Structure 1
């Protein structure tokens, strides 16, 4: 299905985006109704729809802003709520909801769409699907003119290709600009579903990419560019590099050599953590003896062993 997608281009920016795929826009209509720049478009939003209109016996490519979700002609007589933001490919021919829309065909430009994957713990993780080249995707759709004269649209879905079955069993129908399917879907005057249905194929091309995004996209009230960016994997490096602390050992098991090794390791750690001038100073004295290097460096803190001797001597007094 397709219940959420991204379209962050303003009306004035779309002609340049369309031109990247050799598409022309004769004019833009009802842009004043636009729902504003959104990365998280949901049903009932007013977004751009591209279609061919016959004017003076010639085909004119128009971009009109319409509401997402079609109102059936008989909706006033029914109290039940209908989900009409998607039209299932398999039901279009037999459903009276879409019977009056077959001669009103369109494509919906999007940057990408969201889909949710439910794991074994019933947690829903959103994913974002878009073209690898980051150009606009065009989804097959139908539009209708409501009783109040306002335009509405729906997005057609069908079964997902094998490469995306793991994410969801369905996906929107994608039409590629410049292909016979794209041009015929928009320009074919015949509304016979047998002909039209052959134009809407499962998207088998490997031109899409997908990645996890923030769960905040689940609320349509949330918006922002960060909702379409990949989730940054939290680094576990800091978790494993915890600050080293000296282990507690028995006095009898700690030898003088062990203490000297710790002092030497401590000196190396301090040297590496200092700024460049300190590192150069250590390099200059590299030929000096270990005893001399320790003498020139900052005085080491008293070791737990020395402290323990002091306490012992005090008790024996």
Structure 2
């Protein structure tokens, strides 16, 4: 699962690392506690027409995190669709059209997950690439037309996105096979895992003309655990549990002052 993450890169850094162009009106807000329904950057490819046919162009746009299908009656549908299960994404009405031709990548510096402790306690952990590079999650996007607004009126179209997830590694299988310990730790952290893209697979995933969405989903699935082996995780303080808290201090390890004891969430 992915329910909170960090994306605090500058626009220039994100565009460079994504090897993309910035949308003309792109405005990114740094956040160390991104929550569903927030505005987030997404990387997608679209065809640019005109006198010179440029073919598919990779761009960075801002989308609402929580996918709103075109047939939804109102935008509140997105609050329930910030993640998409890879096992059912090809069949679920909310996602099945987007996965065919509206695939994107969601860039993150890392994400938060809560590890269950004694009783009902949970300890938040921050998961990120060990080398500090961005992770690009496999995502979907949709355009939704607001029927309450006139065509062409500002805000009449909403761009939204969702992140694909898969089953987390089985810790016992990982350890018995001598695979990287971080995979076992991820399996102990949560039973779901947001699906990271390798650079090669990201290029194929973003291609709007790719002919076989099912094959692409299987390709991302096949690589997900291998890409996740690049991650590292560390415990952080309980302040991340509130969306009112947002700053780089959220990434610090817990202390007796910030909450070394398990925090209720």
CA contact (8 A) 2:65 2:161 kept: yes
CA RMSD of aligned residues (A): 2.3
Q: Is the 2:66–2:81 Cα contact (8 Å) retained in structure 1? A: yes
For residues 255-277 of structure 1, the C-alpha deviation after alignment (integer angstroms, 9 at most, x for no partner) is xxxxxxxxxxxxxxxxxxxxxxx
Q: Measure, in 2, the Cα distance between the counterparts of 1:78 and 1:69.
A: 9
- Supply the distance in 2 between the matched residues of 1:176 and 1:220 (Cα, whole angstroms): 30
- The answer to whether the Cα contact below 8 Å between 2:126 and 2:233 also exists between their aligned partners in 1 is yes
Q: How many residues align?
A: 225
1:49 aligns with 2:42: yes
Distance 1:207 1:29 in 2: 33
Matched, 1:203 2:225: yes
CA contact (8 A) 1:161 1:204 kept: no
Unaligned residue ranges in structure 1 (runs of 5+): 235-317
For 1:241-252, list aligned pairs within 5 A: none
- Match for 2:235 among 207, 212, 226? 212
Deviation, structure 1 residue 192: 3.2
> Which secondary structure state, in structure 2, belongs to the residue aligned with residue 146 of structure 1?
strand
Residue 188 of structure 1, CA deviation: 5.4
Higher RCO (Cα < 8 Å, 6 or more apart): 2
Query: Where do 5+ consecutive residues of structure 2 fail to align?
Result: 146-155, 171-182, 258-265
1:27 aligns with 2:47: no
Give the secondary structure class of the aligned counterpart of 1:76: coil
Q: Tell me how far 1:146 sits from its aligned partner.
A: 1.0
SS in 2 for 1:141: strand
State the Cα deviation string for residues 13-44 of structure 1 (Å, max 9, x = none): 3234x0xxxx4222334424x4x211000011
The structural deviation recorded for 1:79 is 9.0
Structure-2 residue corresponding to 1:223: 246
Aligned partners of 2:123, 2:91: CA distance in 1, in Å? 34
Superposition TM-score, scaled by structure 1 size? 0.66
- The structure in which a higher percent of residues are helix is 1
Aligned: 1:124 with 2:122: yes
Counterparts in 2 of 1:211 and 1:159: CA distance versus 1, 3 Å: same
Deviation of 1:82 (Å): 5.5
Q: What is aligned with 1:155?
A: 163
Deviation at 1:214, TM superposition (A): 1.0
Distance apart, 1:73 and its partner CA: 3.2
Q: Is contact 2:236–2:253 with CA below 8 Å preserved after alignment?
A: yes
Q: Deviations over 1:224-257 (max 9, x none)?
A: 10112233589xxxxxxxxxxxxxxxxxxxxxxx
Which of 126, 133, 144 lines up with 1:146 in the alignment? 144
Partner-residue secondary structure (3-state), 2:189: coil
Q: Distance in 2 between matches of 1:222 and 1:79?
A: 24
